Structure 1
Amino acid sequence: MSRTCIECSAPISREGYRCRSCAARHRWATNREPERPYRTHEGIRYYLQSDGYYRASRHRGGELQHRAVWRTERGPIPEGWHIHHKDGDPGNNDIANLEALTPLQHLSVEHGDRGPMPDSTRARLSAAKRAWWLGRQSSERVCDECGDAFKTRATRVRFCGPSCNTRYWNRQKRAGAGGAGLGSDG
């Protein structure tokens, strides 16, 4: 007795209702968990990002969901305007929680009535940061790759230069590909 696949009508020579390829496809589709949480809006998936916003995939333009919701419910967003979450929760994309603001209005909402930083203040702070960095004492370090001593003003430097950095990470990559794994003493 010859049976046929319930999906593609191909002949089946084994137990079950599907041929091997349809059965594999069915198992993959039904057992697959989404890689990360998502929401849909007008048939497009918006995936949760680490900053709490929902964004469409890159091949869909990477649009933020709250902007799509605004455009659907209220029409086009004026050029350069921001869509603000009134309650501060970037995951709450209900239209009642969204408002369109100019960049200056958005800045004052986010940072109080201070408004944007004046150029004179920005220049003064930049000069202070530069003076702090230049006045910082150099410390002596030992390169993790070659073992040579070197001086630096930075706090988290591990290598004396880019060549040692590259050599170290290439060696780590080869060790990981060979099954030893990163951080092994092998």
Structure 2
Amino acid sequence: MEYKSRKFQRYKKVWEEAHGPVPQGQHLHHKDLNPGNDSLENLQLLSPKEHAQLHQRLNPKTAMPKECLDEARTWHQSEEGISWHRKHYHDFCKESLHQRIEKVCEVCGESFQGLWQSKYCSNKCKARARRASGIDDVKRICVSCGEFFTVDKYRTTRTCSRKCAGAASSITKRSKP
């Protein structure tokens, strides 16, 4: 165990001399999977999740065999599996999952009673946050001037500005009999 501890310090020192301390919650990974190769080019910074997934994919011995996964899926869908999950839900999760607690809305800052994962006090604030994030934004071409503009994909806007909207409106009115 002492050897592993000293070894960890060796490649950690190599990284720290070049990049500074390893950020908390990050792992150093040997790209060539050789723990004896502590060269800087061979070290890579990964999140714990990425590091575990990478080693799982690279080492078939630690990967779950397909037969086990199939059997687990079958058991979880069986009456026994469903009743086991139902019992554990009632014994351990039900109260804590549905308990309302005092929260503060991330958009307007108001206090509200919500579930543990709640972020917003209302659908209005949730929609405002979604619009602000730009997750639904798309690029369109203005029908009047031909320039690209960004708009929420659920809006029917066809022009980039009020000026272009006025021009498009007058063209549409003139073309109608």
Q: TM-score w.r.t. structure 2 length?
A: 0.30
Greater share of helix: 2
Q: TM-score w.r.t. structure 1 length?
A: 0.29
